[in-house]
C-alpha cells in the first residue's frame, strides 16, 4: 500500500514528506501531533514513506472535519459513550437544526417512537416491486433504535424541543437497493453462532431485512482486526471496542471525543481493502448526505453554526469533493423507482441487532448496562420522548448556557489523549461479588450443580483473567469467561449455557414493543376485533383463548378473525387446540393458543399489504391463483379458502373460472390427486349449501372430464406419472361421470380412452383392469380368473405384489372392488412364498399409509364383513371365494327355507304378518299357499290380470296405436 493510493483528493497540497504546507489553517493546531507521528513513522518504517503518508493523512482528515463550519458529531452505533457525549453536547449547544444520518423517507415515523417501548426498528417495506428483480421481493429495510444510542438522543431532543427541526439526510430506502447490486448490504462477517448452536428466537425479529445503522465502526482490513484482537488480548471486536474506546471516551470532553472518533474513522477508512462496490456505496452516501444538507441550508437559510450533523465516524472522515457546506463537485441524485414503499415500526431486540450487524452475543445488552452506569456516574440528564412507555416526567432544568464559540483553529486534544496513560479503575469488589453470587443462583435454576465454592472461584478467576489481560478491573467479558470456566463442566443440563446466563444477568435480551397507537390500521383493527376475548394480546408469550360459540354467539366474529390469522401469520401466532373449520362445518367450542405479541412483526407487515385482514387474504389468494407457477390444485385451494374464510361467492366464482383456465393449459397428471380431493369437497359443499351448483363448477366438471379422458392413454404409459396420479385421474372420471353425462358429456370418450390405454408395468395394468370392470368391459369373475392365473404362473409370481399395489390404488376410482382386493390380498398372504412376500410388505404399508384416510377404512370395513368376528370361528371358517356349491342345487346350494326354490323368502313365510298388513293396506285379498304348492299359472301375474289398464296403456305407447 502506497501513500498515493490512500490519500484523498484534498491532499494534493501535501508535499513529498507528507506534511501540510505551513500556510495551512490547521498547521498550528496539530503541529505537535504531526511532528510526533513523523518521528514515529521514521523510526518504525526506517524512513518516511507509505506509513508516514497514512499517519499524517489521518491527521489531515481530523483537521478537516474539526474545521468544518457545520459541526459534525461522529458516532458509533449503539455506543454508550456516543450517546453520553451526544446528550452532553445537545444540552450545551442547543442546535436549531439536527441533520441525522438515517433514511430520509423514514422521517414521518419517528414521532411514533413515543408510543413504543425500545428497542424497536423503523422499517420500510415493499411487497410489490417495480424497478427491481422480482426475486428480491419483498424488500425490507430496518433501522434499529435503542435507548443507549446517540441517534435516539438526537431524535428525542429534536421532537420534544420547540423550534428544533430534525432533517434526515441519508439515502432513501429505495436507493438502498438501487445502489447495492448484492441485494442489500451485508456486515463484514457473519454473526457469531450461539455457543449451544441453537439461535435464540428473538434473533429473527428483523427477518430478512437489510439493516441500516449509524456508525458502522469496524475494521474492513482483516489483518488489522486480527492484530488489534491479538495484542488487545480479547476474543472479538465488541470486547476490544468496549475496553479501548468505549471506557476511555466515557469521561472525555467534547472536543477530545470528536477528534478521537474522527481519528478512528479515518484509520479504518484508509486501511479498508479495495472493495470497489462497497467503497462506491460509501462515497455515494456521503455525497448524498452533504447534497441534502446544502439544499436544506439554501432553502431554509439556517446558520451552519446553529446546526449539528450526526453521522457515523466512518463517514465523518470523508474525503469526497462534496464534503462540507462549501463543498464542490456536482452530484445528481437518481430518481426513485416506481416501487410503493410502506413504513412502520416493528419490535426489535438486542439479540436481533447483534445477529443482523455481526456483533458478539450479549454486546448490546452489556452496552445498555454500561449506559445506565455512565448516567449514574456522570449525572447527565438524557433525553427521552415524552409519553414513552416507562418515561418519567422531565424535571425542570435551568436554561443551558450557550455553547462557547468555536475557535477558527480547533485546539489539539489528540496529542494529550494519545500520550495519557490509561486510567486504571479500582476493583469494585462489591459489584464483582454480586455478579458471582447472581450467576451461581441463575446456574442452579438452570440445572447446574453450582455451589458457594463456585461463586468464590468465579470471583477469583475474574480477577486473575483481568490481571493476565493487563486490566485492573474485570470487564463483563472477563467475568463471562471466568463463569464458563468455573461452572460449566461437562454438559449443558438446561436450554441455556453459562455464557447465555451471563448475558441475561448483565441486562438480558431486552425486547421492544410497538404501542397500539403506532400500529398500522390493520393491526389495530385485529386488536379491536379480538377485544371480546379479554386478553392482553400485546404481551409476549402464549395465551389461551376459550370460545364457547353456543352460549356466546358474538364470539363468532373473533373465531373468524383467528382462522384468518392462522392462514396469514407464521405457525404459532394463532394455533387452534380444539375446534376445526371445514367446508360446511363449524365448531361450537374452540380453544386457541395466541402469541400475537411474540409475532408482532409479522402482524405489522400484514398492515403494509392492506387495511384489513380480509383485504390482505383476498390479495394473497389472487396472487396465488394468478401467479406464474399456479396449478389447478393451487387455484382450487384458493377457491376453498375464499369460501371457508371470506364467504365470498364473487371471489369464489372468479377464482373458479381461473381454475378452468389453468386446467386447460396443463399437460400432465401431476396435480390430479389434489384436484380430485378438492373438487370432491367443493361439490359436496355446494350440493348441500347451495340450491344449484355454481356455473363454474359445472364447466369445470365438463372440461375436466374431457381433459382427463384426453390425457388418460398417455398417463398410463408416461414414466413420470405415478400410479397414484393415474388412479386420481380415473377417480375424477368415474366420480364425476354422472354429473358430466347430465351436462352433455359423452361416455364414449371414456370408453375410447380406456380402450386406447396400453400399460406395461403391473401396477398400471391392474389399474386398467379395475377401470374395465367399472365400465363393464370386464366382469368380476374374469378379473378373479386373471388374478388366479397370475398366482399360478411361476414366472409372474415375483411381480404379483406389484399387481396388488395397483389394485389397492384402484380403490380410489373403483371403491366397489374392495371385496376383490381383500380376496387378492388374502390369496397373496396364503400362497406367496416368504422371499417374495416379505420384501413387498414395506411397499404395501407405504401405499396404505399414503392413502390411509381413504383406502385403509374401505379395506378394513370389507375385511370385517368377510372374515369371522371371533377367533374361535376362524378354524372352521371357509372364505366365500372357496365355497364348493352343493350337488343338485341350481343356485349353488343356497336355497331358501320355504317355497322350494324361492331364495331369501324364509323370513316371509316365517313371519307373514308384515305382508298381510301391506296387502290389507293396498286392498288386496287372498290366502297363503302351502309350502311346496306352487301356483298353476305364472308367478306374479295376478295383479296384471286384475288391473289390465296398465298393460293396455303400455301396449298403446309402444305400438303407437
Element (DSSP H or E) covering residue 677: helix 672-689
User: Cell numbers of 664, please?
Assistant: 386447460
Contact 665, 682 (CB under 8 A): no
Q: What is the pLDDT of residue 4?
A: 33
Distance set, CA 491 to CA 447, 504, 533, 554 (Å)? 11, 19, 43, 53
Residue 535: partners with Cβ closer than 8 Å, 6 or more residues away: 543, 545, 594
Contact 771, 730 (CB under 8 A): yes
Residue 534: partners with Cβ closer than 8 Å, 6 or more residues away: none
Which SS3 state, helix, strand or coil, does residue 768 take?
helix
Residue 138: partners with Cβ closer than 8 Å, 6 or more residues away: 125, 126, 127, 129
Tell me how far apart the alpha carbons of residues 291 and 251 are, in angstroms, rounded to a whole number.
34
Count CA within 13 A, CB hemisphere, residue 916: 7
Phi and psi angles of residue 236, each rounded to the nearest 5 degrees, phi first? -150, 170
Q: What is the pLDDT of residue 185?
A: 42
Contact 456, 464 (CB under 8 A): no
Tell me how far apart the alpha carbons of residues 675 and 680 are, in angstroms, rounded to a whole number.
8
Going across the sheet that includes 574-578, the strands are: 543-548, 589-594, 574-578
What's the Rg (C-alpha) of the chain?
Answer: 42
Three-state helix/strand/coil letters over 222-256: HHHHHHHHHHHCCCCHHHHHHHHHHHHHCCCCHHH
- Which of these, 503, 511, 507, lies nearest to 599 by C-alpha position? 511
Going across the sheet that includes 120-126, the strands are: 210-211, 139-145, 120-126, 342-347
Q: What is the pLDDT of residue 730?
A: 92
pTM of the predicted model as reported, rounded to 2 decimal places: 0.69
Tell me how far apart the alpha carbons of residues 482 and 742 are, in angstroms, rounded to a whole number.
82
Tell me how far apart the alpha carbons of residues 761 and 496 are, in angstroms, rounded to a whole number.
56
- Which of these, 468, 2, 595, 70, lies nearest to 270 by C-alpha position? 2
Tell me whether residue 737 is exposed, middle or buried, using C-beta atoms within 10 angstroms of its C-beta: 0 to 12, 13 to 18, 19 or more: middle
- Which of these, 61, 56, 22, lies nearest to 40 by C-alpha position? 56
CB atoms under 10 Å from CB of 619, counted, come to: 14
Contact 262, 317 (CB under 8 A): yes
CA 617 to chain centre: 17
| Averages of pLDDT over each 10 residues, the chain, 961 residues | 34 36 48 58 50 68 84 86 89 91 88 87 85 82 86 90 91 84 43 45 62 58 67 71 74 81 80 67 85 88 88 82 80 85 86 78 79 83 80 51 51 63 64 86 86 89 84 80 84 78 74 85 91 88 89 90 92 89 87 90 87 90 89 92 89 91 88 90 89 90 91 89 90 90 89 90 90 89 87 83 86 87 83 81 75 71 81 77 56 40 60 80 73 55 73 74 55
Tell me how far apart the alpha carbons of residues 794 and 743 are, in angstroms, rounded to a whole number.
48
State whether the Cα torsion 893-899-904-909 is positive or negative.
negative
Distance set, CA 602 to CA 440, 609, 642 (Å)? 37, 11, 22
167 DSSP β-pair partners: 99
Give the residue carrying C-alpha cell 364470539: 555
Q: What is the pLDDT of residue 621?
A: 92
Per-residue burial over 647-672, b = 16 or more CB atoms within 10 Å of its CB, e = otherwise: ebeebbbbbbbbbbebbeebeebbbb
Q: What is the pLDDT of residue 193?
A: 45
Contact 127, 339 (CB under 8 A): no
Q: What is the pLDDT of residue 561?
A: 92
Q: What is the pLDDT of residue 566?
A: 92
- Which of these, 593, 573, 673, lies nearest to 633 by C-alpha position? 673
- Which of these, 324, 312, 255, lies nearest to 68 by C-alpha position? 324
Tell me how far apart the alpha carbons of residues 908 and 922 are, in angstroms, rounded to a whole number.
18
DSSP structural state of residue 667: -
Phi and psi angles of residue 39, each rounded to the nearest 5 degrees, phi first? -70, -40
Give the residue carrying C-alpha cell 472461584: 457
Amino acid at each position: 500500500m502506497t501513500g498515493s493510493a490512500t490519500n484523498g483528493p484534498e491532499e494534493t497540497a501535501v508535499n513529498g514528506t507528507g506534511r501540510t504546507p505551513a500556510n495551512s489553517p490547521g498547521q498550528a493546531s496539530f503541529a505537535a501531533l504531526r511532528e510526533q507521528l513523523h518521528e514515529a513513522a521514521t523510526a518504525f518504517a526506517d524512513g518516511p514513506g507509505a506509513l508516514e503518508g497514512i499517519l499524517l493523512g489521518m491527521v489531515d482528515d481530523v483537521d478537516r472535519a474539526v474545521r468544518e463550519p457545520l459541526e459534525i458529531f461522529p458516532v458509533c452505533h449503539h455506543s454508550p459513550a456516543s450517546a453520553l457525549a451526544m446528550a452532553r453536547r445537545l444540552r450545551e449547544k442547543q442546535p436549531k437544526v439536527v441533520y441525522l444520518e438515517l433514511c430520509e423517507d423514514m422521517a414521518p415515523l419517528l414521532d411514533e417512537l413515543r408510543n413504543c417501548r425500545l428497542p424497536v426498528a423503523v422499517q420500510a417495506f415493499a411487497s410489490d416491486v417495480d424497478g427491481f428483480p422480482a426475486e428480491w421481493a419483498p424488500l425490507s429495510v430496518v433501522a434499529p433504535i435503542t435507548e443507549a444510542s446517540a441517534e435516539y438522543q438526537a431524535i428525542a431532543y429534536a421532537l420534544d424541543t420547540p423550534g428544533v427541526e430534525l432533517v434526515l439526510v441519508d439515502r432513501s430506502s429505495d436507493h438502498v437497493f438501487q445502489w447495492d447490486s448484492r441485494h442489500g448490504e451485508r456486515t463484514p462477517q457473519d454473526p457469531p453462532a450461539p455457543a449451544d448452536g441453537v439461535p435464540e428466537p428473538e434473533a429473527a425479529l428483523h427477518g430478512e431485512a437489510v439493516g441500516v445503522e449509524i456508525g458502522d465502526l469496524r475494521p474492513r482490513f482483516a489483518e488489522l482486526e486480527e492484530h488489534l484482537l491479538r495484542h488487545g488480548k480479547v476474543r472479538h471486536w465488541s470486547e476490544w471496542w468496549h475496553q479501548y474506546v468505549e471506557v476511555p471516551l466515557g469521561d472525555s470532553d467534547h472536543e477530545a471525543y470528536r477528534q478521537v472518533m474522527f481519528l478512528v474513522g479515518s484509520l479504518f477508512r484508509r486501511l479498508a481493502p479495495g472493495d470497489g462496490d462497497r467503497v462506491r456505496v460509501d462515497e455515494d452516501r456521503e455525497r448524498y448526505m452533504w447534497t441534502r444538507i446544502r439544499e436544506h441550508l439554501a432553502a431554509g437559510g439556517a446558520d451552519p453554526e446553529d446546526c449539528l450533523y450526526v453521522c457515523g465516524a466512518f463517514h465523518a472522515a470523508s474525503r469526497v469533493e462534496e464534503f462540507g457546506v462549501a463543498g464542490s463537485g456536482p452530484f445528481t441524485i437518481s430518481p426513485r423507482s416506481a416501487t410503493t414503499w410502506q413504513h412502520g415500526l416493528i419490535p426489535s431486540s438486542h439479540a436481533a441487532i447483534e445477529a443482523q450487524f455481526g456483533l458478539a452475543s450479549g454486546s448490546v445488552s452489556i452496552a445498555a448496562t454500561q449506559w445506565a452506569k455512565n448516567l449514574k456516574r456522570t449525572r447527565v440528564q438524557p433525553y427521552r420522548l415524552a409519553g414513552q412507555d416507562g418515561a418519567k416526567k422531565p424535571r425542570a432544568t435551568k436554561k443551558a448556557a450557550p455553547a462557547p464559540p468555536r475557535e477558527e483553529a480547533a485546539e489539539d486534544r489528540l496529542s494529550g489523549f494519545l500520550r495519557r496513560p490509561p486510567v486504571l479503575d479500582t476493583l469494585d469488589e462489591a459489584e464483582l461479588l454480586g455478579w458471582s453470587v447472581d450467576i451461581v443462583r441463575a446456574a442452579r435454576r438452570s440445572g447446574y450443580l453450582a455451589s458457594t465454592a463456585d461463586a468464590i472461584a468465579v470471583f477469583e478467576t475474574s480477577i486473575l483473567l483481568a490481571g493476565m489481560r493487563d486490566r485492573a478491573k474485570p470487564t463483563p467479558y472477563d467475568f463471562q469467561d471466568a463463569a464458563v470456566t468455573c461452572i460449566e463442566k461437562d454438559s449443558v443440563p438446561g436450554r441455556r449455557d453459562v455464557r447465555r446466563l451471563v448475558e441475561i444477568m448483565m441486562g438480558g435480551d431486552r425486547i421492544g414493543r410497538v404501542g397500539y397507537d403506532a400500529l398500522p390500521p390493520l393491526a389495530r383493527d385485529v386488536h379491536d376485533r379480538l377485544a371480546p376475548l379479554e386478553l392482553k394480546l400485546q404481551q409476549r408469550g402464549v395465551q389461551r383463548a376459550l370460545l364457547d360459540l353456543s352460549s356466546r354467539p358474538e364470539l363468532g366474529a373473533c373465531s373468524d378473525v383467528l382462522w384468518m390469522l392462522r392462514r396469514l401469520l407464521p405457525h404459532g401466532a394463532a394455533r387452534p387446540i380444539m375446534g376445526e373449520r371445514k367446508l360446511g362445518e363449524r365448531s361450537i367450542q374452540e380453544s386457541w393458543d395466541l402469541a400475537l405479541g411474540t409475532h408482532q412483526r409479522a402482524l405489522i407487515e400484514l398492515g403494509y399489504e392492506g387495511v384489513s385482514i380480509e383485504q390482505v387474504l383476498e390479495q394473497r389468494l389472487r396472487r396465488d391463483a394468478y401467479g406464474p407457477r399456479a396449478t389447478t390444485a393451487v387455484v382450487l385451494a384458493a377457491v376453498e379458502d375464499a369460501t371457508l374464510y371470506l364467504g365470498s361467492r364473487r371471489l369464489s366464482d372468479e377464482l373458479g373460472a381461473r381454475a378452468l383456465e389453468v386446467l386447460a393449459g396443463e399437460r400432465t397428471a401431476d396435480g390430479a390427486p389434489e384436484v380430485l380431493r378438492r373438487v370432491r369437497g367443493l361439490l359436496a359443499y355446494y350440493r348441500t349449501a347451495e340450491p344449484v351448483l355454481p356455473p363454474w363448477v359445472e364447466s369445470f366438471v365438463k372440461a375436466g372430464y374431457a381433459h382427463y379422458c384426453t390425457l388418460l392413454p398417455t398417463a398410463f404409459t408416461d414414466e413420470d406419472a405415478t400410479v397414484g396420479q393415474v388412479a386420481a385421474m380415473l377417480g375424477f372420471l368415474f366420480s364425476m361421470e354422472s354429473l358430466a353425462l347430465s351436462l352433455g358429456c359423452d361416455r364414449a370418450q371414456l370408453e375410447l380412452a380406456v380402450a386406447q390405454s396400453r400399460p406395461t408395468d403391473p401396477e398400471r395394468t391392474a389399474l386398467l383392469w379395475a377401470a374395465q370392470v367399472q365400465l363393464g368391459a370386464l366382469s368380476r369373475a374374469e378379473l378373479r380368473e386373471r388374478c388366479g392365473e397370475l398366482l399360478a404362473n411361476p414366472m409372474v409370481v415375483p411381480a404379483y405384489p406389484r399387481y396388488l399395489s395397483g389394485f389397492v390404488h384402484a380403490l380410489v376410482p373403483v371403491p366397489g372392488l374392495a371385496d376383490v382386493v381383500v380376496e387378492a390380498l388374502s390369496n397373496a398372504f396364503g400362497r406367496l412364498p416368504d422371499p417374495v412376500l416379505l420384501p413387498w410388505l414395506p411397499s404395501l404399508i407405504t401405499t396404505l399409509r399414503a392413502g390411509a384416510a381413504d383406502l385403509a377404512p374401505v379395506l378394513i370395513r370389507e375385511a370385517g364383513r368377510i372374515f369371522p368376528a371371533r377367533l374361535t370361528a376362524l378354524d372352521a371358517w371357509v372364505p366365500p371365494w372357496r365355497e364348493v356349491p352343493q350337488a343338485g342345487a341350481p343356485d349353488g346350494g343356497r336355497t331358501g327355507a320355504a317355497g322350494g326354490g324361492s331364495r331369501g323368502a324364509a323370513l316371509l313365510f316365517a313371519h307373514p304378518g308384515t305382508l298381510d298388513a301391506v296387502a290389507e293396506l293396498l286392498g288386496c285379498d287372498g290366502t297363503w299357499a302351502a309350502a311346496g304348492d306352487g301356483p298353476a299359472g305364472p308367478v306374479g301375474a295376478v295383479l296384471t290380470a286384475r288391473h289390465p289398464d296398465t298393460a293396455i296403456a303400455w301396449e298403446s305407447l309402444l305400438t303407437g296405436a
